């Protein structure tokens, strides 16, 4: 059977992970490579990508790491040119960089607000701005942006800047989808829920529960109707579908990957 992304070139941002295991970007690199894509893996640091590179190559995939801060326009332009120089084209862009900071409207300081919007939202704008002209020239492309259930619901703590940025990604994607649909380019969003990724142990437990990982996992688990927590592979599989030609008539929409959490109201 033909692989679902045979010979496609995919830029995946945030291709590393805060710890060992299945973060969303790492899982996307491995799954996309398993389906035949050539991966241009983008992150701030090489260390965070070592496991991604190893797992992708173990799966028989081709992956090129590239260091870039996706909140910098000049760095993003250089990054996209480097991908074109390496692989000759770009068919898929997965915008996965992001992360939450705690705080509601009063608690948040202005610098954190700006950082949250830069890393979660401006990064999506800058990479789309740089990649779209190449996709237009090719007459095809698929962009998958990463939101969060925090962008559509209150999910247990007031992380107002993160929620605002993740909500904005959805509408940015819809507007961009309509504008570029006639050029053969699709733009969709994955909306992960409360996953058990390495970020839970590495950052979130400290941010939310004074470092009590079990307490955090229990509080997240009890919101999920399915009764278990997915991980980065679940987000990656949704992104894979949206990236593939199976989704050829799908643009300007979202896939929620949350075990039913966001439809629950009890």
* SS3 label, residue 265: coil
Q: How far is the CB of 214 from ligand NAD (least distance, A)?
A: 16
What's the burial of 73, exposed, middle or buried (CB within 10 Å: 0-12/13-18/19+)?
middle
Instruction: Return the residue of 5, 14, 87, 127 that touches ligand NAD, per CB under 6 A.
Output: 14
Q: Which stretch binds ligand NAD (CB under 6 A): 13-21, 86-94, 180-188, 208-216?
A: 13-21
For ligand NAD, the binding residues in 92-111 under the rule CB under 6 A are 96-99
Give me the catalytic one of 87, 162, 172, 180. 162
For 38-50, b/e burial (b = at least 16 CB within 10 A) is bbbbbbbeeebbe
Q: How far is the CB of 98 from ligand NAD (least distance, A)?
A: 2
CA atoms within 13 A on the CB side of 217: 15
Q: Is 154 annotated in the active site?
A: no
Residue 99 near residue 154 (C-beta atoms within 8 A)? no
Q: How far is the CB of 61 from ligand NAD (least distance, A)?
A: 18
- Residue 81 or residue 245: which is nearer to ligand NAD going by CB? 81
Determine, following the binding rule CB under 6 A, whether residue 43 of this chain makes contact with ligand NAD: yes
Angle between helices 24-34 and 232-243 (to 10 degrees): 50
Residue 207 near residue 215 (C-beta atoms within 8 A)? no
Instruction: Return the residue of 142, 176, 189, 197 that touches ligand NAD, per CB under 6 A.
Output: 197
Determine, following the binding rule CB under 6 A, whether residue 48 of this chain makes contact with ligand NAD: yes
Instruction: Return the residue of 8, 24, 185, 262 that touches ligand NAD, per CB under 6 A.
Output: 24
Residue 155 CA: distances (Å) to CA of 15, 133, 264, 265 = 25, 36, 11, 12
| Residues 251, 67, 97, 50, CA torsion sign | positive
Q: What does DSSP say about strands 141-146 and 9-13: parallel, antiparallel, or unpaired?
A: unpaired
Distance CA 115, CA 161 (A): 9
Q: Which stretch binds ligand NAD (CB under 6 A): 30-38, 68-76, 80-88, 209-217?
A: 68-76
For 122-138, b/e burial (b = at least 16 CB within 10 A) is bbbbbbbebbbebbeee
Determine, following the binding rule CB under 6 A, whether residue 188 of this chain makes contact with ligand NAD: no
Write the interaction track for ligand NAD spanning residues 224-263; mark x where CB under 6 A is met and - where it is not: --------x-------------------------------
- Where on the chain is the footprint of ligand NAD (CB under 6 A)? 13-14, 16-18, 23-25, 43-45, 48, 68-71, 96-99, 119, 146, 148, 192, 194-195, 197-199, 232
Catalytic residue numbers read 162
């Amino acid at each position: 059977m033909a692989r679902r992304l045979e010979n496609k070139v995919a830029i995946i941002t945030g291709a590393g992970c805060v710890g060992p295991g299945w973060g969303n970007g790492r899982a996307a690199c491995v799954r996309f490579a398993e389906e035949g894509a050539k991966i241009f893996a983008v992150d701030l640091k090489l260390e965070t990508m070592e496991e991604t590179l190893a797992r992708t190559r173990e799966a028989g995939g081709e992956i090129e790491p590239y260091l870039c801060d996706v909140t910098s326009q000049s760095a993003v332009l250089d990054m996209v040119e480097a991908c074109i120089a390496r692989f000759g084209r770009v068919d898929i862009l997965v915008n996965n960089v992001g992360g939450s900071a705690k705080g509601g409207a009063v608690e948040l300081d202005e610098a954190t607000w700006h950082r949250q919007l830069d890393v979660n939202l401006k990064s999506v704008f800058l990479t789309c701005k740089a990649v779209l002209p190449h996709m237009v020239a090719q007459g095809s492309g698929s962009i998958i942006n990463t939101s969060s259930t925090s962008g559509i619901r209150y999910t247990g703590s007031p992380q107002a800047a993160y929620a605002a940025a993740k909500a904005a990604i959805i509408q940015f994607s819809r507007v961009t989808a309509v504008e570029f649909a006639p050029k053969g380019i699709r733009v969709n969003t994955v909306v992960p829920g409360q996953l058990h990724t390495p970020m839970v142990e590495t950052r979130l437990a400290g941010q939310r529960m004074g470092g009590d990982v079990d307490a955090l996992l229990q509080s997240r688990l009890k919101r999920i109707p399915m009764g278990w927590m997915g991980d980065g592979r679940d987000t990656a599989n949704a992104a894979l579908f949206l990236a593939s030609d199976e989704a050829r008539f799908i643009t300007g929409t979202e896939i929620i990957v949350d075990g039913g959490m966001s439809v629950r109201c009890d």
